[in-house]
Structure 1
Amino acid sequence: MTRTHRTSATLPDGRSIHYYDERPGRARPSAPAAPPAAPVPSTLRWDPTTEDWVLMAPHRAARTALGPHCPLCASSPPEVTEIPGGAYDVAVFDNRFPALGGPGGPPAGGDRALLASAPASGRCEVVSFSSDHDTPLARLPLTRVRTVVDAWADRTRELNRMAAVEQVVCFENRGAEVGASLSHPHGQIYAYPWMPERFRRMHESARAAELRGESCVFCRVRQAEEEAGSRVVARTAHWSAFVPFAARWPYEVHLYARRHVPDLDALTDGERDDLARIYRSLLRRFESVAEAPLPYMAVWTQAAARRERHLAHVRAQVFSSHRSPTVVKRPAAGELGAGAFVSEASPERTAEALRAADPAWEHEGVSA
């Protein structure tokens, strides 16, 4: 597939923007240098009962929401958006309303006050998948999906180099029903200054397996799911997508690299090409498995910036809280309060429905 070319610039308010183009030499308007944006009024507060940080970002309540003027479409005078110039392929820029980004970060180690707080360092970026306002990632050409993969990988590498960053997470909320405040197809990247609790638990699971003398727990899960077969949704030479044995959501698919590899930046060209095919196919299945497209959330799990990277195995979770476009699973007190999910869907039947939901997969090198 076409390889990606990056051009970086500075927006008038000091934020960074990166264009990822599918052909070199594309002219980009210069943005004049400007003083840095105002410090982010976010803080981290420590919960000693769960030993985890909580991110406090009240200013995000005023962020841009659905409205007549889209901030992710290309600027066209007199309408000025977040992205200068005309049509673009993929653009990544610093979020105007970041939850992370101040100086400093959480103190290292476990020696902290009972009611400890710390600056919310790190970075929040927006990833606009295309200047096309109406075409979701599932319907973009494969070359564009591959460009998105390259942008994720490039930003993972660059953000991991920041001293204050511990965990880079690429994610997408597709649909206002699951939290998307803009309809223009886009995702986000959070570079956290600590390893969030769910990622920490998975990391500790991998470490415990290593201490027992076992091989990678994620490699073994992927292999076991492929051998069982009943929950496999799609597979390529380099990737495997399956509904997990212990799925929590009405529709939930895990997408694993078939090679033990820590993050998106470490993928080969062939693995990235393959990822574009199977990821687009997977999103199309969420569009067509019900009578109308299901809103979904997608999140990538990658190695921490510096902590025992050999234990990590890159993978994505794509899931929907909707059983149908109008029926929603809302976790209640017993689930959110106790942290014990109750699944009302059969993973095997869900996988069967998703396997049948993208009839075009045979023409894209994706098999079930």
Structure 2
Amino acid sequence: MTELRYNPLLRDWTMVASNRHKRPNLPKDNCPFCPGSGKVPDDYDVLTYDNDFPALSPNPPQPDDVATELYRVEPAYGKCEVILYSKEHTTTLPELPVAHIRKLVDLWTDRFRHLASNPRHKYVLIFENRGPEVGVTMPHPHGQIYAYPYVPQKLRVELESFAAHREETGRCLMCDINREEVAFGQRMLEETEHFYAYIPFFTDYPYGAFISSKRHVGSLLEFTDDERTDLARILKRVTSGMDALFDREFPYMMVLHQSPVNAQKPVDFHFHIEFYPPLQTATRLKYLASSETGAWAPCNPMAVEATAPQLREAIQKRKEANRHVDPLA
């Protein structure tokens, strides 16, 4: 059973997807994403794969007959796709050459364009869950895309903040955040021709990096050819540095924040990527406890002015090593 249930306390929707408990959990053989499985081509670079256990689908079943005037339900309309990073079962994002990651950026862009063309879709979220620490059930490196029939609450709050800041100052909120981080400097991680990477002043994760475009654009669709390649480059640098930080595969949630689609009026937004990595140390995790979950009151257990220099040093060290094998890195 899949459906959407409205939460009147938060004015947001909860996706109910009872089919997802059937997902395989870290299978050591019979990977459906590997060539030879019969599920994917025998050879591919990057690939779109319809999620076998979607929370949203183009032809959803009718919801259960439990709705009332207060408790609304809707069919779980939308689309859930898996984005396979490569045919190699153990090659993760930071291990891919920049030219290969550029193919991933192009696929993200193509899928964003395609999913945005459906007027019933209102937000297209591209993301990756990496590592069992954040609940990954399939070890083959991949990301996902959800096309929602509504704008999820966190993104809605961001959009409202952008609009309020524009009205109050006449400026873009993310452009101002970029300027603040560049001016302070201590939280900066990396800078390329078209992007900044930093751990922002306000993040609730010790190593919660942001990647933000320098140019004020709302989505992948607006990037030039050079910007797409540069996005691939800074993605490799930041994620490689994360792996180098504790000399282990670094778990994270990575989410691309972009303009909503099919909005009724023009929307002011600025493309950026947010990382939510749970590690405090090589072996210690940051958990979300009662205050954070129940009150949405974030608490960062470490000052980012202390953690950013550590990650910056790891990025620089790994960048120099990568350049010996990948000239675009």
TM over 0.5: yes
The separation in 2 between residues aligned to 1:74 and 1:309, in whole angstroms, is: 43
Kept in 1: contact 2:211–2:273 (CA 8 A): yes
Paired residues of 1:101 and 1:122 also in contact (CA < 8 A): yes
The 2-side partners of 1:103 and 1:183 are apart by: 28
2:17 to 49, 53, 57: 57
Q: Going by fraction, where is helix more abundant, 1 or 2?
A: 2
Give the conservation status (yes or no) of the 8 Å contact 1:296–1:318.
yes
Two-structure CA RMSD over aligned residues (Å): 1.7
Give secondary structure in 1 for the equivalent of 2:49: strand
- Residue 103 of structure 1 deviates from its aligned partner by 4.4
- Relative to the length of structure 1, the TM-score reads 0.82
Q: Distance in 2 between matches of 1:154 and 1:204?
A: 27
Q: How does 1:1-368 map to 2 (within 5 A)?
A: 41-67=1-27, 68-75=29-36, 80-84=37-41, 86-103=42-59, 113-307=69-263, 308-358=265-315, 359-361=317-319, 363=323
| Unpaired segments ≥5 residues, structure 2 | 62-67
The question of whether the paired residues in 2 share the 8 Å contact of 1:149 and 1:272 is answered with yes
The alpha-carbon distance between structure 1 residues 256 and 287, as it changes in their structure 2 partners (threshold 3 A), is same
Q: Deviations over 1:308-352 (max 9, x none)?
A: 554111110122111123211111111111110111111111110
Partner of 2:65: none
Residues of 2 paired with 1:133 and 1:324: CA distance? 27
Please give the alpha-carbon distance, in whole angstroms, between the structure 2 residues aligned to 1:335 and 1:319. Answer: 14
CA displacement 1:22-58 (0-9 Å, x = unmatched): xxxxxxxxxxxxxxxxxxx311111111111111001
Letter in 2 for 1:361: K
Q: CA deviation at 1:286?
A: 1.1
- Give 1:360 shift: 4.1
Partner of 1:35: none
Matches of 2:38 and 2:300 in 1, distance apart? 42
Aligned-pair CA distance for 1:260: 0.4
1:81, distance to aligned residue in structure 2 (A): 3.6
Secondary structure of 2:314's partner? coil
Change (3 A) 1:365 1:128: closer
Cα distance in 2, alignment partners of residues 350 and 340 from structure 1: 21
- Using the size of structure 2 for normalisation, the TM-score is 0.92
TM-aligned CA deviation for residue 176 of structure 1: 1.3
Q: Give the letter aligned to residue 70 of structure 1.
A: C
Query: Could you say which structure has the greater relative contact order, defined with CA pairs below 8 angstroms and 6 or more residues apart?
Result: 2
With over 3 angstroms needed to count, the CA separation of the structure-2 counterparts of 1:342 and 1:213, relative to structure 1, is closer
Runs of at least 4 residues off by over 6 Å: none
Paired residue total? 315
Kept after mapping to 1: 8 A contact 2:163/2:268:
yes
User: Any idea what the Cα deviations from partners look like across 1:180-216, whole Å, max 9, x if unmatched?
Assistant: 1111110000011110010000000111122225211
Counting aligned pairs with the same residue, the percent is 36
